[in-house]
Every structure is written in C-alpha cells, then in structure tokens.
Chains A and B, each alone.
Chain A
Amino acid sequence: MNMLQENNWLLSVGTFLPLLGVVVLLLTPKASDQMVKLVALVTSIATLAVGVYTAFKFDFDQAEKLQFVADANWISVIKSSYLIGVDGISLPLYLLSMVITLLVVIYSLDHVPSPGKPKAFFSLLLVLQTGMAGTFIAQDLILFFVFFELVLLPMFFLIGVWGGEQRQYASIKFFLYTMFGSALMLVAFLALFFKTGAESFSIPYLIENGGSIAKNIQIWIFAGMFVGFAVKVPMFPFHTWLPDAHTQAPTQGSVILAAILLKLGTYGFVRIALPILPDAAREWAPYIGGLAVIGIIYGALGCLAQTDMKRLIAFSSVAHMGFVMLGISTLTSFGVNAAMFGMVAHGLITGMLFFIAGSVKERYHTLEISKLGGMLTSMPRLGWIFGFCSMASLGLPGLAGFWGEFPAILSAYNPAEGLNETVFRVFMVIAALGTVLAAAYLLWMFQRIAFGTAKNSSSHDHAHSDDLHDVTTFEWIAWTPMLLGILVLGILPNLLFSVFDPAVKITLSAFGG
C-alpha cells in the first residue's frame, strides 16, 4: 500500500499532547480550580489546533492513502510496531474526537458534576482523548488494542465516580462487558497474526495477506472480532450495558460515549474486520445486517417504553447504530460511506441530545418525562435547540442525520456481490419502517417535554423557577459548533463524503467496490 510519510510527527503530537496536559495537571495544586480548568482548556485547544493543522496538511486528493505515516520499532519480540497514519476514513473521526473533547471541556468549565474533584475529572477527560485519537490513528493491531483498552479506564472512572445513583452497577457492567469483547478480540488478533505467518501486526500487511487464510478459519477469527466490536457499537443483543452506562454517566461521559466511543466499534469493522477477512465478512454480512435491523426496531421500541429522557436517548443510539451497521453489512462502498457519515452525524446529534439532557437535569432536577413539560415556554431557546436536534435525529433531510440514514437504507437494496439480495431488501424495508418509529419516539418525547404548559413539579419544595434559566454562555459556546456541524453537514454532505469515498473504495476493493 502506498503511504505518505511527510510530517510524520503530527499525529503523535496530536495524540499525546493531552497526556502532556495531564502531567501539567498533576503538578497543578489541587486547590486552584481555575488553574486546573485553564490547563485543561489550553491543552484541548492546542490538541485541536494540531488536529486542524493535520487536516490542513492532509492531501485530500489522495485521501485513499495513509498519510503522516510513522513507523517505529515498538515491541519487536512480537513484531508489533508503532505504525500510525490516517486516511480519509480515520481523519474525520480523529478530528471529531478532538472537537468533542474540547467542547466537553468547555461545557465542564461551568458544570463539573458532583462530587467535584475537577483535577481528576479533567485528567481523565484528557487521557480519554488520547485513547480515542490513538485508536483512530493506529495501524498496528496491538497498538490499536492498547488504545482501544486505554479508552476503557477513564470512562470507567467517569461513570463510577461522577455518575448517578446506580453508578457502580453501570460502570462495572460497562467495564466487564467491554473487557469480555476485548478478550475475544485479542484472541482473534493473535490468531490472525499466527495465521498470516507471524510476520507482523501491521494492518496494511494483514490486509494484503489476510485474504489467504482458509475461509472456515477466517469465519472463526471474524467471530472473535465481531464480538469485540459489536459490544462496543453496541449491536443487539450486546447492547444492554449501554442504557445503564448512559443513564448513570455524567453528561460529559454520555456525550463522549455517544459521540466517539461507540464509533470505535464500527470503525473497527471498517478498518480491520472487513478488509482483512473479506471471505468471512461475506459469510457474516447477512447476520450482521439482521442484527442491525433488529437493533433498529428493537431500539426504537425500547425508546417508546422509556419514561426517562436520558435513557430514551440512550436507546435511540441502539437504533441509530443499527443503521450504521446495516450500511457496513452491505459491504458496498455506498453502504460503508453511509455508515461513516452516520457515525459522524450520530456523534454530533446524539452528543447534542445528551448535552441537552444534562442541562435539563440540572434545571429540573429530574429526567422523568412526565414531570417535564412546557420547556418551550419556560426556556424557549433550549426548547428550540432540543427540537432542532430531535428533527436531526429522526433523519430530516437537510440535516446531518439524513445522510447516514437514507443512503444506508438505499445501499441495502443492492448489497455486494455474493450476498442474498432478497434478504437485504427485506432489511431495507424493515429499516425504512424504523424511520417511522424514530419519528414516533422522538416527536412524542419532544411533544411531552417541550409542548404544553410548564408543570410545577410538586416533589420539590424549593421553588426552582430560579433554576429554569435559558441556555447559558458556556452552553452556547460548547453547543454552537455542534449545531452548526449538524446543519452544515446536512446541506453540504460532500464535505465528508468526498473524504470518505476514496478511502472506503480502496478498503472495500476485495468486495468489488
């Protein structure tokens, strides 16, 4: 594979800069909260600046090639090397992680969740950022695995320390579930390594040689990866950690979880599982597609049953990631493009919805939908933002969500050669029905929360009409980029499609494009 090696320091700097910030944070005295916040803010701004510079230097005409490639010796005993690079598939996600982290940090300046401890909180956010960015740049399976696991720890603490009432249960469930997947994934990686002659863990190398593994072995290796990634996505029936984790996580955790962490799984499918094991992917595709559409319907039904706003949004992630997985399961570049777009769009939209849920909780001290109501009267701006995001989430054309959803449905009509068309066409119709349910649960939620007259919840004695203030400055700063992103990507989808498309085509060349 062709790789471009100029500026190969950029990715490492962009990825590890947050760790430098963590070091500075550790040296900062605990008492000076302002200082802690300042360091975190400066670090994440600097990280994003490096990221933007990377994008600026990125050669978009050669988006199919790995760029800024660095290759250094790492663990030579197991022939694992520090091989990093980005192409059109990873760059947008890499940048997205930086943007989201910065916005979350900005939001946190004003909203450190209880029990406080800003120093630890911001340190974990920055460690998390390194893990996420690293996963997207790693081009070596062991390196990928390390970053993939690195993400787990800070999130575990974020949920376990700053979470809601059942945070212990949720954080352990999250941790163990993902660990379980990771273990199987690691087995798969090792098997892959040995089956390709124990030469290298490098992804480009494995893509070239993975296809030569006998098909029945491929299928088993794929199974290991499948579980690892499917837990992270999460796909039905491995999703049950998600509602708990989301519901219990602090707002910041939920946002990052929805916006980036879930994408690690789908990204793994596109980056690793599909291109390295094409024969197995073909065998697995109908099952993945089937689970994806089950997830779409099932997630939507789960949403309809919820009485808690945040839990409802969490379940909607299951449905939306179902669309992403449906696109991937078609094994066509059309479908995978849709999936990639869906990842970014879902990151922005659902991330925003979790921000809103956080602000609602802060103001109303509850997320029970029946106790909310009349948000448009009491806080018109928040209400309209909420409406905007609901509309984006249900896939309104002209907003970002549409470009992940509709092309995914479209692609299912014509899956890659060798896949059963009838089966996928049935998937298409079921997925299309899922859009109706999406409209149902989102608008129903919106209607119950935003319309009507403001309710005075009697459960609280203290009049919290004071709490019902509209969107604050920090919220505006944190949210505006995401809202703009939803709108701009909706109108100009080519900003992303043109970056993904060449890389996706190359990645899927084993399936005939």
Chain B
Amino acid sequence: MNLLAAETEVLAPLASGWFLENAWLIPVIPAIAFALIILIGKRLPMKGSELGVASMLASLVLSAGAAYQWIQRVNSATEEQFVEPVIRSWSWWRSGGFDFGIGQHIDGLSVVVLFVVAFISTLVQIYSLEYLRGDRRYTHFFAALTLFSGGMLAMVLADNMILFLLGWEVMGLCSFMLIGHWWEEDANSRAALKAFFTVRTGDVGLLVGISMLYFAANDWTQENLGLSGFSIRGISAWALSGEPNSTVIMVAAIALFIASIGKSGQFPLHTWLPDAMAGPTPVSSLLHSSTMVVAGVFLVARLYPVFFVGLDILGSGGNLIMFIGAITIVISAALAFVQNDIKRVLAYSTVSQLGYMMLGLGAGAWLPAVFHIFTHAFFKACLFLGAGSISHSASHHSFDMKRDMGGLRKVMPITFTTWIISTLALCGVFPFSGFFSKDEIIDNVGNNGYNTFMIVGLVGAFMTAAYMTRATYLTFFGEPRGASAGHSSHESHDDHASHDDHSSHGPHESGLLITAPLMILSVLALGSGLLNATPFGESWERMKLWVEPRAVEVVDSTYSGGPGESLIVNVPSAGEGSSKSVCGTSTPEIGVCYAPKLEHAKFKWSKAMLSMAIVFLGMVVSWILSMLLFTKRDARLVGLTQRVKILGVGHRFLVNKYYLDDLYEKVIVRSVAYPISSAAYWFNQNVLDGILHSISNLTRKFSGWVYKNIDQRVVDGTVNNSATFTKSVGTAAQPTQSGKVSQYGALLFSAAAVAALVLVIINT
C-alpha cells in the first residue's frame, strides 16, 4: 500500500485564489443576514429587505469571484490532469474517537450551482421589493427568503454529508415558512405542511443512505485518504475504488434516490409541488428554478459515483433513476394540460423538466443534466416572475388563465416578450438556451443506447411545446377576460388579499423592479446556452471544460496552490474480481478516481432537426386546438370530454392528479392520523393502563394481609422505618389515599428486602 513515488509525475501547481479559498463565506453571509433581519429588521428603513438584498448581492459577488478563479484553476491544469477541488475543513464534532469536519468542497459543479443560486436569489429579492410591498409580514418574508438561499448555498458547497443534510433541511424549513406565508388561510398552511411532510418522508432515505455510506466507506476513506466516511470526496473515491459491496452501495444509492424523489418532486412524490404554489410568486420562482427542487437533482450529481456504481448507470436496460425520470416527464406534462392556474402549469412543467435532469443523470449524461440545471434556472425563474407580474398588475391577483387573463400581449409588452423568450427556451427551440441543454440530454440518452428513453424524451418535448403554447395562448392571446378585461368582481382564490389598494385600475405593465429582473433573466434564457453550444464545435463547450470532473486516476494529490489539507493518497490495491470500474473502465490500480468516465454524443444537425420538428409540431397543433377551443368555441371540441366517455375518464383521471393525492391524504395519512394512532392510544389507555390498574387492585387486596403477616414479623427495623416514612409521606399528601401509598411502599420495600435476604442466604 505504499506510494509509488517513482511513477508519480510532477503535476503543474493549480491556481487558486482568495475567492476559492473563502467560498465558505457565501452561505455564511445570508445566515448572518437572516439573524440580523429577525433581530433588527423591523426597525430599519426598508424593514429588513435591504439586508436580504445586500447579503444576496455579496454572495453573488463572491460566487462570481469563485467561478472566475475556478476557471483560472482549470486553465492552469494540464489537459489530462484532475482538477483538485478546493477543500477546506474545520473540526465540527467528534464522536467515537473520530473528528468530523465542516467545510467547503469547491469544484466545477458547486461553482456553477452557487452562481446560479446566488444570481436567481438576488433577482427574486429585488423583484419581491415591489411584489410584496406592504405585505403584513414583509420582514419575515425577507428573513425566510434569505435563510432559504443560505441553506441551498450551504448544501451546494458542503464537503460532507452532514452539512449537506443541514442545508437540505434548512431549505425544507424555509419552504414551510414561505409556502405558508399567508397562513391565516387554511389552504396555505395545509400546503406548507404537505410540502414539508412529503419532503420529510423522502428524507428517511437520506438519513439511511448517509448512515450506510458512512459505515461502509469510513474505514477505507480513513485509511487511504484520511477523510471521514461523511466526506463527499471520500465517498466518491470509495465508490469507484472497486471496494464497495455491491448490495450495500446499491441499497444506499436507492435510499438516497428516495430523498431525491421527495425533494425534486419526482413521481410518485411530486404531489406537494403544485400545492406549493400557495406561497407568494417570488417564492415559487425561487423554489422551482434554482433551489429546493434542484436539490434532489444536485444530490445525484454530487454523489454521482455512488449512483453510477450502485445503480449500474450505463448498464443495459436502464435503471431506477431513468425510469423515475422518464415517468415523471410524461405524467407531469400530461397534468399541465388540465390546469387553469398559470402557476400550476409552470409547476408541472418544472416537475417534468426535473424529470429530464434525472433521466440525463440516470443515462450517464451528467454534464447535459447539470447544464440543464443551469439554463432551466433562468428561463423558469423568468416564467414564474412573469406570471407574478401578470397577477400583480393585470389580473387582480388571480392566476386563473381561463377566467382572468387573455389578450395581455398588448398591455404588458415587456412581460409578454420575456415570457415568449423563456417559453421558447423551455420548449428547446434553437438558439434559445433550453435547446442546448435539453436536446443534449435527449441526444446522449440515445447515444448511450437507451432508445426507448430517448423516445420518451422526445414525446416529452412535444408535450412541453403543446402545454406551453396552450398557456401562452390563454394568457396573452384571444380576448381579455375577467379581471384582465377590467371586471373587478370576482371571488377567485385571492393570492394576497393584503394589499389590494393599488389594483383598482385596469391591467398595465409592471414597474421597473419587476420588469428589470424579467429582462435580465430573459437575456440569459436566450444566451446562456452558448456556454456549452455543442453545435458550434469543441471550442464552444466551455461547461464541459470547466465543470465536468475529469475521469483521471489520481495518484498523488499533494497539490499546491490549494489551501485545504494536502492529500496524500495511499494507493489502494486492486481487489480481485472487483466489479465496476474506475474511471469507467477498470478498477484503478495505482490511485483513486473521483469521477466515472462518460461518453459524449456527437452533435448532429439531423437529430436536432428532428426534435425541432417535433417541438414545432407540438406548438402548431396546440395553437390550432387552443384557438378553436377557447376563442372560436368550436362545437366539435367544446364539451368533448363530456360526450366521449373514454376521454372523459382520462380527463377526470388527470384532473384528479391520478388520484395520488387521494391515496396519500385520504388513505395513508388519514389512516395513520386517525384509526392507527387512535388504536395505539386505546391500547395505551386500556391495555397497558388496564394491566396496571388490575395489578394495583390485586395488590391492594393482598396488601392488608401482607402488611399484617409478613411486614411486621419478618422484616427488620430498617424496612419498618422506611415503611413508616412512606406512610407519613402519604398521610401528609393525601389523607384519603395515605393507606394505599404506605402499604404499596411497604410491600415493595418488603419484597426488595426479602429478595435481598434470600440472596444473602444463598451466598453464605
């Protein structure tokens, strides 16, 4: 197990810098800002919102600095060199003789997600300045929003699974606070409870998975890397070392994936996500674009080696992640067709897009999936904020497309334009950003041999184009209806009835604080795809260069330039018959590997044209149908679901969300909450206490006899004294019950003394 020094080539020192080394400040700043907002926010001129915005700006600057220096670091490495992440760790807690650290793990993946999170959070907070103006809990809102971003940032740069879990759960807490922001209404507090509870159910998997990985990996990581079994770096290397028992790592991967299903709203735990629309729109935007729901995807991307080995990614026939991803794409896209609430359309769209990310990760398309996190964040945030802009300024706080929207393109030109750009990006139209990420996922899925899944991806693309066209048509085209037409009489679900003061006049464009974020986001929705524009050749694939970890065997990583501990790898010996490979092909013999080797599909315009055609078809079909149905009220289509039975059944099935909510709420939750818990309580009150009461009755009957016959004659003075003592106690406290107490006490002590005497006799 010694280091093969002779074979170690001298590697170039990697560049580092202040921003990389101090990236841990990125989540710390919002955390401090949160505390300050809670403590002094209300007394500040802007009620604490300035602290939130400022902290997010600071985080954004730090993230951007870290990203820049990471790029420099990558550039300073040779082509075939593994770019060491910048790890810093401090002692956090110790148990069982081991020290457990807390710290940062900065690599391409964390840098890109950090940047996205900080960026979107900043824009959402600026947007909220206007959107929530005058809200009854303005300060609390900004506090929760800031902590929420802090939680996500902490999770993203975590160097170990405990810190990861901390960020993960803090987000859960904040989502509870934010979704239930207007908790006076029952529906909102229920949605908040549902979100937290559903995610928490998935979290069982996270707890179990982390525990399993810790104990499976700890010995190996301590010995070879000097890291604990919680360390993300250690776990990654261990997973690819050929060491892990295939069952253990498989079960751990499945357990972790269950947590991802809950957090990222994958089938069958997606039901909380649409309900989470009860929160204020900026929350939906943040939750659904870059934080919270992305966390589950991020977990898979972060611990990719574990899933790669455990679930046999790239193996034939597909795997759990791909199946779940594919199912999610289709079922949630189908649900988006029957929604009237514009935010719910977007919510199901998010679920569906997360399905794409999962599908990509499951199929070995790691980079396209991560890239899709990146691009999706911009256009989805833009769409949500656009929906918020409409409800804020045009539809009188309503989100009902059929009743209160329509024809808004003329009155809201900026919102309309940004919406269209983001929709095209979401549908994956060239050259909008979604094209470069989503198409890449579909392409790579096929390239890795999963043709069926590729077809599912294409079907999903068709459906995406169709439901977004429907939503766009209902919102911006046709005749204005309801509130958008200036009718103020409506009793729709009032998103925030708290500040109705300014919306008495007709629909108009929103103010600059709202439109500026929209415009910035739409520029990125259009342009961010160029960071990894595969059609234009290798030199455009920046993301691949910067973000994708290199599947290289690391022999000696006493790297200079990095701050964290210098890592000396004790080269593990290759076990005989070890299963899957390092770096993708074989078990490493003289080093460790941190990432599996993945292939990339070669871009072909012919394939791209095919998917573009499908998207275009989806748009056209949907446009025609929408026009006939909603504007022309064509007699052949209107009421079709009532006339054709099979369609009616399908429609009802969709409207009822596949009855999953009924299963969860009416069957599972209700049975646990009522009959099962009542039964347990009945058992408690009647069986356990019943036994107790009958024992005490029996004892009471015998105690008189015992007291007279045994206590007075057999037992020595000490016990008598204690009995008298007890008696006096009883008398003092409860005149009526005193006899009982003293007799019980006497009996018990007598018993003890008798037993002791027996022991003495036996032992002498």
Contacts and interface: CB of A to CB of B under 8 A. Distances in A.
Interface of A: 153, 156-157, 160-161, 168, 171-173, 175-177, 179-180, 182-184, 186-187, 190-191, 194-195, 198, 237, 240, 243, 298, 301-306, 332-334, 337-338, 374, 376-377, 391, 396-398, 402-403, 406-407, 409-410, 412-414, 428-429, 432-433, 435-437, 439-440, 443-444, 447, 450-453, 493-494, 497-498, 501, 505, 513
A513 B96 contact: yes
Contact of B672 (A179, A182, A304, A432): A304
Given A240-B688, A501-B94, A298 B680 contact: yes
Given A176-B744, A187-B756, 16 more contacts: A176-B741, A179-B748, A180-B748, A187-B752, A333-B96, A396-B169, A428-B208, A429-B208, A432-B208, A433-B204, A443-B197, A447-B189, A451-B183, A451-B186, A452-B184, A513-B96
Interface stretch (B211-219, B372-380, B528-536, B566-574): B211-219
Contacts of B520: none
Interface in B129-153: none
Interface string B720-764: 000000000100011001001100110011011001100110010
A435 B215 CA distance: 21
B509 interface: no
Interface of B: 91-97, 162, 165-166, 168-170, 173, 176, 180, 183-184, 186, 189-190, 192-193, 196-197, 200-201, 203-204, 207-208, 210-212, 214-215, 669, 672-673, 676-678, 680-681, 684, 688-689, 692, 696, 729, 733-734, 737, 740-741, 744-745, 748-749, 751-752, 755-756, 759-760, 763
Contact of B759 (A194, A303, A305, A452): A194
A406 B748 contact: no
Given A160-B733, A186-B752, A443 B763 contact: no
Looking at A168, A338, A501, A505, the one whose CB has the most chain B CB atoms below 10 A away is: A501
Contacts of B678: 305
Looking at A177, A304, A397, A452, the one whose CB has the most chain B CB atoms below 10 A away is: A397
Grouping DSSP codes into helix (H, G, I), strand (E, B) and loop, the B interface class, with mixed when no group exceeds half, is helix
Contact of B180 (A173, A432, A451, A505): A451
Given A333-B95, A452-B189, A413 B212 contact: yes
Contacts of B748: 179-180, 182-183
A172 B759 contact: no
B579 to A, nearest CB: 22
B231 to A, nearest CB: 15
Contacts of A302: 677, 680-681, 684
Nearest to A236: B688
Contacts of A237: 688
Contacts of A433: 204
B96 A175 contact: no
Contacts of A303: 677
Contacts of B173: 391, 396
Given A301-B677, A447-B193, A494-B91, A505 B97 contact: yes
B200 A439 contact: yes
Contacts of B669: 440
26 contacts: A156-B733, A160-B734, A172-B737, A175-B741, A177-B692, A182-B748, A183-B748, A183-B749, A298-B684, A302-B677, A397-B165, A406-B162, A413-B211, A428-B208, A435-B204, A443-B196, A444-B673, A447-B183, A453-B184, A494-B91, A494-B92, A494-B94, A497-B94, A501-B94, A501-B97, A513-B96
Contact of B696 (A176, A187, A194, A391): A176
Contacts of B211: 409-410, 412-413, 428
A451 B189 contact: yes
Looking at A157, A160, A398, A505, the one whose CB has the most chain B CB atoms below 10 A away is: A398
Contacts of B169: 396-398, 402
Query: 3 closest A-B pairs (Cβ-Cβ)?
Result: A304-B677, A305-B681, A397-B166
A493 B93 CA distance: 6
B170 A171 contact: no
A478 to B, nearest CB: 20
A332 B215 CA distance: 13
Looking at B197, B212, B755, the one whose CB has the most chain A CB atoms below 10 A away is: B755
Contact of B184 (A333, A338, A377, A493): A377
Contacts of A494: 91-94
Contacts of B676: 301
Contacts of B186: 451-452
Contacts of A172: 734, 737, 740-741
A503 B176 CA distance: 40
A453 B188 CA distance: 13
B96 A332 contact: yes
A114 B92 CA distance: 46
A126 B756 CA distance: 33
A497 B95 contact: yes
A175 B737 CA distance: 12
A334 B196 CA distance: 29
Looking at B180, B208, B749, the one whose CB has the most chain A CB atoms below 10 A away is: B208
Contact of A194 (B91, B192, B733, B760): B760
B327 to A, nearest CB: 23
A436 B200 contact: yes
A168 B737 contact: yes
Looking at A195, A377, A439, A444, the one whose CB has the most chain B CB atoms below 10 A away is: A439
Contacts of A153: 729
A501 B95 contact: yes
Contacts of B763: 194-195, 198
Contacts of A184: 752
B94 A439 contact: no
B752 A444 contact: no
A157 B734 CA distance: 9
B710 to A, nearest CB: 15
A435 B680 contact: no
B95 A334 contact: yes
A158 B204 CA distance: 40
B43 to A, nearest CB: 15
A94 B186 CA distance: 45
A389 B752 CA distance: 42
B677 to A, nearest CB: 4
Contacts of B733: 156-157, 160-161, 171
A318 B169 CA distance: 24
A305 B96 contact: no
B170 A191 contact: no
B511 to A, nearest CB: 30
Nearest to B691: A237
